[in-house]
């Protein structure tokens, strides 16, 4: 199981907007060059970030910017925007464990609460980090 690369691309998008926003128009083509992916992928992620209220996209002239201060945008916000969870759950359980098997019959009961706690711990950790933390670390290296 892996979290989709859309999450790290979303973080990358915000870092580019902050680092380059004063000197460049931040378009899907500009972002695609930095991220090294097809602009179509960037446009999809930009759409998801916009729908979540995290970015603003200028009509006509183009370009994107954060919809609120980057100190207020957490990894969790980006994760929710771009990594749509299936029914709100990070872990996808196999569909039909064998009810005639003692393990198959009890696997959900044994795992469900543990998986929910693991997901909750990860999500709580994501809430501790912001886009500003990433930008600060990048600027240290420039």
Distance CA(109)–CA(92), nearest Å, equals 15
pTM of the model: 0.88
Q: Is 108 helix (H, G, I), strand (E, B) or coil?
A: helix
How much of the chain exceeds pLDDT 70, in percent? 95
Q: Which pLDDT belongs to residue 88?
A: 75
CB atoms within 10 A of CB 104: 13
Number of H helices, E strands in the chain: 6, 2
Distance CA(12)–CA(139), nearest Å, equals 13
CATH topology of domain 5-141: Arc Repressor Mutant, subunit A (1.10.10)
- At 108-130, the pLDDT tens digits run 999 999 999 999 999 999 999 99
Q: Where are the domains of the chain?
A: 5-141
Q: Which pLDDT belongs to residue 36?
A: 96
């Amino acid at each position: 199981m892996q979290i989709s690369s859309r999450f790290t691309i979303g973080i990358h998008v915000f870092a580019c907007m902050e680092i380059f926003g004063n000197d460049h128009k931040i378009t899907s083509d500009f972002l695609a060059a930095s991220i090294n992916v097809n602009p179509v992928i960037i446009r999809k992620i930009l759409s998801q970030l916009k729908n979540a209220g995290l970015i603003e996209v200028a009509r006509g002239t183009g370009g994107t910017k954060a919809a609120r201060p980057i100190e207020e945008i957490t990894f969790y916000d980006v994760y929710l925007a771009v990594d749509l969870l299936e029914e709100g759950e990070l872990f996808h359980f196999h569909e039909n464990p064998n009810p005639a098997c003692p393990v198959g019959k009890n696997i959900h009961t044994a795992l469900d609460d543990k998986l929910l706690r693991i997901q909750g711990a990860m999500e709580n950790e994501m809430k501790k980090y912001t886009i500003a933390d990433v930008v600060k670390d990048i600027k240290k290296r420039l």
